[in-house]
Structure 1
Amino acid sequence: MKTVTTYENKKILVLGLARSGVSAARLLHQLGALVTVNDAKDFDENPDARELLSMGIRVVTGGHPADLMDEEFVLVVKNPGIPYSNPILEKAMAKGIAIITEVELAYQIAEAKIVAITGTNGKTTTTTMIGELLNQGLDQGQAYLAGNIGLPASSVAQQAGADDVMVTELSSFQLMGIIEFHPHIAVMTNLYEAHLDYHGSREEYVKAKWNIQKNMTKDDYLILNGNQPELVELSKATQATVIFFKTTGDVMANAYLDKGQLCYNGESLMAANEVGVPGEHNIENALAATIVAKLLGVSNASIGDTLRHFGGVEHRTEYVGEFAGRKFYNDSKATNILATEKALSGFENPQTILLAGGLDRGNEFDDLVPSIKDLKAIILYGESQAKLKKAAEAAGIAQIKLVETLQEAVLESWTLSQSGDNILLSPACASWDQFKNFESRGTTFKEAVKQINDKK
């Protein structure tokens, strides 16, 4: 990592722990800063705070006292999820104190090239694809995954060397807290409406996402989704060299879908239906990842081979396995209608049984009707069961089954299916009625599939 002396003997507040806060606190302490950590969780229930205290770092726990900002801090490093309405942050802003997120620290110490990925959907899959493409195809160095994918960027930046690449997934929350952060390559997978409770408006959400390119120059590359007119328009407002990917439309693109082939600069790389994960959204992800790989010197043959064997990301149209001719897919991450629509785009409905349900957000499911027409069957469970049944009836699905639990839904899907069918968990709902999170729901699905297979 680069030698940085900026923070020596400077008072810095790290607001909020979790992985990124712990990483930032450790790094700043290593760089000679006078670090104070503030976390809402009580000290007795806060192993991270106890560990940092043992290192000689000051910790303040059990709340966020605004009078902390009466001290002479020169910088606040905030957990991305803490809103700017937090009293400490409001006071810091009033005093003109800079507020950053941990990815800014990562940039300051990084020797590796940085590839940054953001967007509303597809970030994690695209980040993972890029990592695999580079690790299969780079002549020297390796790719490290970092950022919102679960590995703090400031920790990864300490490991990655000058020949390496940091493939960094970034949320809108993280991008609000950058000052000098400057990726060599940035990807915007798509833009939809999201996180309005945090940002207040779609305009502010888009503004946060667009921060990814604010320090880029003509020597850097900004990869955008040419299917989206909004991103085509935004492309006019950047200094970076823009490269588009597209599956439809007439925008000029370097990576595109043509007659069922993934193409780059006029050359066919592979058949689109050979990509290891199904769905049009994953074709977009593959095209975006391909551009990054080509910019960094990966061969066409290596790209094709890697994408054919790409197994997806856990809980995101994850291929679970084939049992007695039935293929099972875990798309537990689909917590809304749009995500389920995208998942279904990769399957032939007459050979597909959909498992859906959970906790809705007060919405109806009318928008799902076009995507679920002609399904072989739909199996519904959880609190949103009645609303989903109404949509299934409107779609004219012949077999609509209601069960209490996800485990029962898996068992019913086995009964209704035959060799050649796809069984897809893509709930279109949050998980919180029966599970603590979508990961737990997806794990339960996979365990239920395994149990049935073991019995057959």
Structure 2
Amino acid sequence: MEYGDKHILVLGAGASGIGASWVLAQVGAHVVLNDYKPVTLPADEEKRLVSAGVKIITGRQDESLLDGVDRIVISPGISLDIPIVKAAQARGIDVVSEVEVAYELSKSPIVAVTGTNGKTTTTTLLTKVLEGTGKPVRVGGNIGDSLSEVAYSMPADGFLVAELSSYQLETIKHFRPIGAIMLNITADHLARHKTMENYIAAKERIFENQLSTDFMVLNIDDPIVADMEHRVLSHILKISQHQVVPNGAYYDKGQCYVTKDGIATPVIGSDDIHIPGSHNIENILTVIALTYVLGVPAETIHRIISEFHGVEHRLERVKTIDGITFYNDSKATNVDSVVKALESFDQSVILLAGGHDKMTPLEDFMQLVKDHTKAVIFMGEAADRFEAAAKEAGVQPIYRASSMKDAVEQGYKLADQGDIVLLSPACSSFDWYSCFEERGDDFKNCVHMLQEGRHH
């Protein structure tokens, strides 16, 4: 879309909406940034938007905002079921995500990552490996900065790396990444998408506009992802930890291989990999497969993966106190993430879980918790439902915590030398915190405070 003199309504005054509003004003659009909640923007952001000509309206969201509007750009956290979006659709007004704006404005090709779990680790590692080409590389979307703002500043000869959620993909139109990764699909965000089929369909939009010259990495160890093969029109790269693949990457006997036309080249062995768990082998294989076809030599891929020690709030080792090691996995906002975390450790684990409940089924999850934990400590809004499900599954012992400090102190007292105390909530953070980062930082602060005044 050519934005000059177009009237654009941006819904949602978070990072995505602010970035999109500023960028659209730069390309000549008349922009209104709206949020139904009263929002006080940071002074520097408000000044930047106002000086760019953006009109900011918060605290109301009536249908009159649609008058004369050519397009709505919707922030990922906003449901398509809200009245103003329904009204816009009834009027025939285009509703697209900020990701679509980024695609329209980016001079660089885009590579994109989606899936239920592992997106941030994979996106971060993918960015680092592509930086090994020496080309300009920027990252945005569900991680880092507003994707449209990053896209606007990109030169033509680099790579724009996008971490994309189902919410962001739900409202794309022509968005087309030259390379994309589908990691895995498990039940998540069903409160928003209503059914698993809708959730899968939103994820699959990542490849709907790809051409035969583009690349799509599929994790064929995941049956839902493997089934997508029949709907992908681009060049498929498969990854697996259980079988050899002709094009893509696979793992066998402690070694990651990249393959092209059936010829396998060793890339990196597990001794040089510093992020624990088979789920991280999955993440690494997808990065190997995609970056290799994009022209990164195997030696460069090896070097950068061997230097990678993970991302903050994702199985992040915080500290060892009296032989007890604390791990911050605050980014584990669903049960499948916690399963992967628990399966990463051979030691006894005291699990700290709970938060804002996503209402996903817990029966199978609690059976696994029973097998993989020494004790559990539940907190937050989800604690009652989690405790009931844990008791039903025979999990014991079960404790409750009234704060993060309380949870950390209880975990420390329950642990013996060699044990793990793991914050892996299986919930979003919005009961006690504004985001998973704030929750993880609080956990780390509590661990450091514990060391300063410990008594075991």
Q: TM-score range by the shorter chain?
A: 0.7 to 0.9
2:31 corresponds in structure 1 to: 35
2:64 to 49, 64, 67: 67
Aligned CA distance change for structure 1 residues 359 and 287 (closer, same or farther; 3 Å): same
1:371 corresponds in structure 2 to: 368
Aligned CA distance change for structure 1 residues 337 and 16 (closer, same or farther; 3 Å): closer
1:196 corresponds in structure 2 to: 190
How far off is 1:291 after superposition? Answer: 1.4
CA contact (8 A) 2:186 2:336 kept: no
| SS at structure 2 position matched to 1:144 | strand
How far off is 1:222 after superposition? Answer: 0.5
CA contact (8 A) 1:356 1:378 kept: no
How far off is 1:218 after superposition? Answer: 1.0
Aligned CA distance change for structure 1 residues 324 and 241 (closer, same or farther; 3 Å): same
Q: Distance in 2 between matches of 1:16 and 1:435?
A: 19
How far off is 1:11 after superposition? Answer: 2.0
Aligned CA distance change for structure 1 residues 428 and 199 (closer, same or farther; 3 Å): closer
Stretch moving more, 55-64 or 164-173: 55-64
Report the aligned-residue RMSD. 2.9
Q: Distance in 2 between matches of 1:126 and 1:45?
A: 31
How far off is 1:362 after superposition? Answer: 5.7
1:221 to 200, 215, 221: 215
| SS at structure 2 position matched to 1:451 | helix
Aligned CA distance change for structure 1 residues 301 and 38 (closer, same or farther; 3 Å): same
CA contact (8 A) 2:217 2:248 kept: no
Establish whether residue 128 from structure 1 lines up as the match of residue 127 from structure 2: no
1:424 corresponds in structure 2 to: 422
1:154 corresponds in structure 2 to: 148
How far off is 1:287 after superposition? Answer: 1.0
2:254 corresponds in structure 1 to: 260
Amino acid at match of 1:229: P
Aligned CA distance change for structure 1 residues 53 and 385 (closer, same or farther; 3 Å): same
Establish whether residue 320 from structure 1 lines up as the match of residue 318 from structure 2: yes
2:110 to 114, 125, 144: 114
| SS at structure 1 position matched to 2:330 | coil
2:233 to 235, 239, 245: 239
How far off is 1:241 after superposition? Answer: 0.4
Q: Distance in 2 between matches of 1:204 and 1:197?
A: 11
TM-score normalised per structure 1: 0.88
Aligned CA distance change for structure 1 residues 15 and 359 (closer, same or farther; 3 Å): closer
Q: Distance in 1 between matches of 2:23 and 2:430?
A: 35
How far off is 1:386 after superposition? Answer: 8.3
Q: Distance in 1 between matches of 2:19 and 2:416?
A: 49
Amino acid at match of 1:97: I
CA contact (8 A) 1:263 1:270 kept: yes
How far off is 1:78 after superposition? Answer: 1.6
CA contact (8 A) 2:378 2:386 kept: no
How far off is 1:259 after superposition? Answer: 1.8
**1:301-340 alignment, distance < 5 Å:** 301-340=299-338
Establish whether residue 13 from structure 1 lines up as the match of residue 12 from structure 2: no
TM-score normalised per structure 2: 0.88
The C-alpha deviation readout for 1:378-424, integer Å capped at 9, x for no partner, is: 24142527844873795576x66555443233334434445543332
Aligned CA distance change for structure 1 residues 153 and 364 (closer, same or farther; 3 Å): closer
CA contact (8 A) 1:15 1:77 kept: yes
| SS at structure 2 position matched to 1:60 | strand
2:390 corresponds in structure 1 to: 391
**Which consecutive residues of structure 2, in runs of 5 or more, have no partner in the other structure?**
none
1:298 corresponds in structure 2 to: 296
Q: Distance in 2 between matches of 1:175 and 1:396?
A: 38
How far off is 1:360 after superposition? Answer: 4.3
**Which consecutive residues of structure 1, in runs of 5 or more, have no partner in the other structure?**
none
Equivalenced residues, count = 447
Stretch moving more, 436-445 or 250-259: 250-259
Aligned CA distance change for structure 1 residues 226 and 390 (closer, same or farther; 3 Å): closer
CA contact (8 A) 1:382 1:434 kept: no
Establish whether residue 79 from structure 1 lines up as the match of residue 78 from structure 2: no
Stretch moving more, 247-256 or 147-156: 247-256
How far off is 1:249 after superposition? Answer: 5.5
2:167 corresponds in structure 1 to: 173
The C-alpha deviation readout for 1:277-301, integer Å capped at 9, x for no partner, is: 2222222111111112212333333
1:209 corresponds in structure 2 to: 203
The C-alpha deviation readout for 1:21-60, integer Å capped at 9, x for no partner, is: 1222222211112222322233767855665334333333
